[in-house]
Amino acid sequence: MKKLFVNPVPCTACLCCQTVCALCRTGQQDRDGAVIRVAVDVFGGDHRLAWCRQCEDAPCASACPAGAILQDSTTGAWTVDRKLCTSCKACVAACPCGAMFWNPSAGRPEKCDLCGGSPRCAAACAFGAVRFLDPDDPEAGFEGMPPSEQDPLLGRGPSE
């Protein structure tokens, strides 16, 4: 199954991915409604991205006492079943990537559902930093990145 891969090197922190995500999810440009997040340090010039890795053994799903986080058999995305969710926030605390977000206006947790198999954030990224690829696709790894910038949570990371 395809997953989102984010390469921070070509990312310019333009926020297009976050804006289109919010628009698709909420119909508004308020980026707080997005489930891909770009944190920009305007003074230091640095930025970090947070997005769901669609983990094989999803810690968010394991932490959910109501069993409300289920894997979609078509897309492979872990999704929150609103009817089962008790809004306990256990999934938010359990996510090692910081990709489960608490939506205070909706009073519930939010996470990426891969837009039903066609992530809008990847389509909106003009720089190729956000891509929707098969894990074994050569473009999914970041061998061209400097070793100091490789991170297993950002893709495959350094070869071992």
The whole-model pTM stands at 0.83
Residue 83 burial (CB < 10 Å; 0-12/13-18/19+)?
A: exposed
Q: pLDDT digits over 37-95, tens only?
A: 999 888 887 888 999 999 999 999 999 999 999 999 999 999 999 999 999 999 999 99
Report domain extents, the chain.
3-55+96-134
